[in-house]
Amino acid sequence: MSSPLGTLGIDFGTSNSAVAWLGQQGSARLMPLEGEALAMPTAVFYNAEDSTTHFGRDAIRHYLEGTEGRLMRSLKSLLGSPLLLETTQIGHQHISFQDIIATFLSTLRDRATQTLGAVPRRVVVGRPVHFVDDDPERDAQAETSLRQAVEAVGFEEVSFQLEPIAAALDYEQRLTKESTVLVVDLGGGTSDFTVVRLGPERMRHADRSPDILATTGVHIGGTDYDRQLNLAQVMPLLGYKHMGPEHREVPSGVFFDLATWHLIHWQYQPRAMAHAKTLRSNYSDPRLHQRLMQVLTERHGHLIAHEVEQAKIRCSVHRADTGIDLSLVERDLLARLGVADMQAHLHDLLARTVACARECVQRAGLTDDSLGAIYLTGGSSALSTFQLALQAEFAGVPLVEGDLFGGVALGLAYSR
């Protein structure tokens, strides 16, 4: 079958990815990616027991069930970093992280193709406002690397669209009158903002650039919240900020890396393990060092990060204190995560994020009363602590909660 006419939108997210299709007519629709699910975790698992490769929820399930192998998450965070081209050993092969991204993208392509019947020619891929903050060269490199990965997958016509603009184009579909909107896309890796004029009339224009009044973005997202909460609530149980015999804290590098999704697996390298072992003399309580070594030898880093993420979501949704189960590290070991902890530990990250939203409105030259709404999308936009901080900054502007995981992909398919 020849390529179907239309546009495929690919939202390659730090945490989750989604794909949407807009044919010659009608509305864009999300493609099922894993069974019925319309988004899937950006995760790859290499099974060392039978040399198979798994994606999405299936990847995470294998990892959590304790299958021997390697889990890759937060791959997008490597774009723009020299680590992208480093190779890593998977079974008997050495594969670069860029190739792992291409493998993941080809899975998205295959799954969309199953629904569409053939590989689409035209694809619009989302990109954050900044892949890398304050470094235009590395930022451009990040887009080039992503383009190479998408082209390697075999799409003929590849273009990019800013993720918050895509989110705005999706929101516009349901507007019945013109409105100037601050679109907020809070994801796993980045927080992006755009002030944009939207409306049924404007939708007809081929060139939307006059309607985009400002865009800003900051490299802070849900994985940074996870890291911060991990450092504050869990890592102290392994020795972070622990006072050693000479009144000196245990060197903190290993805890920072162990709490950072895309750096976790580097901690299992023999050199890093040997270093961790030498930290023993920096502890006054040897039990904490034992826990650290247990986490490293049993490779529980991703599992802890996953538990922290789930606790963050529980705490946010129920607005109630919760526990972080660490029984795999030590029998009955439990960390706490309270609403007050969330407020205290995420305060700075959220203040920087809200300041970036404010800057966007300032750059657009607008006052708050000219904003019709603040439209929220991206998984982290559901975070109650964030919504409170944003509402405090933009008092009186209505917050509209949108599609958490599919909006960007739909808007990419609507991009021209």
Is residue 312 within 8 A of residue 336, CB to CB? The reply is: no
Non-local (6+) Cβ contacts of 93 within 8 A are none
Binding residue for Mg ion, selected from 13, 41, 80, 407, defined by CB under 5 A: 13
Tokens at 18, concatenated: 């989604």
- Residue 364 vs residues 175, 210, 214, 215: alpha-carbon distances, Å: 21, 12, 5, 8
- Window 4-43: contact mask with ligand ATP (x via CB under 6 A): ---------xxxx-------------------------x-
Single-letter amino acid code for the residue at 240: Y
Q: For residue 315, how many C-alpha atoms fall within 13 Å in the half-sphere facing its CB?
A: 25
In the complex, minimum distance from the CB of residue 12 to ligand ATP, in angstroms, rounded to a whole number: 7
Which of the choices Mg ion, ligand ATP, none does residue 328 contact, using the CB cut-off of 5 to 8 A by kind? Answer: none
Closer to ligand ATP at the Cβ: 56 or 222?
Answer: 222
Point out which span in 148-156, 183-191, 203-211, 287-295 binds ligand ATP (CB under 6 A). Answer: 183-191
Non-local (6+) Cβ contacts of 352 within 8 A are 218, 220
Reference 44, options 34, 52, 35, 54; nearest CA is 54
- Window 210-229: contact mask with ligand ATP (x via CB under 6 A): -----------xxx------
Q: Which residue has the tokens 């909660």?
A: 401
Which of the choices ligand ATP, Mg ion, none does residue 120 contact, using the CB cut-off of 5 to 8 A by kind? Answer: none
Closer to ligand ATP at the Cβ: 222 or 411?
Answer: 222
- Examine residue 9 and tell whether it contacts Mg ion (CB under 5 A): no
Q: Which residue is nearest to ligand ATP (CB)?
A: 222
In the complex, minimum distance from the CB of residue 131 to ligand ATP, in angstroms, rounded to a whole number: 9
Reference 33, options 43, 47, 25, 48; nearest CA is 43
Q: Among residue numbers 170 through 229, which ones bind Mg ion (CB under 5 A)?
A: 187
In 153-256, beta strands by DSSP E = 157-162, 179-186, 191-198, 212-218
Which residues are at the interface with Mg ion (CB under 5 A)?
Answer: 13, 187
Which residues are at the interface with ligand ATP (CB under 6 A)?
Answer: 13-16, 42, 76, 163, 187-190, 221-223, 309, 313, 316-317, 378-380, 382-383, 405
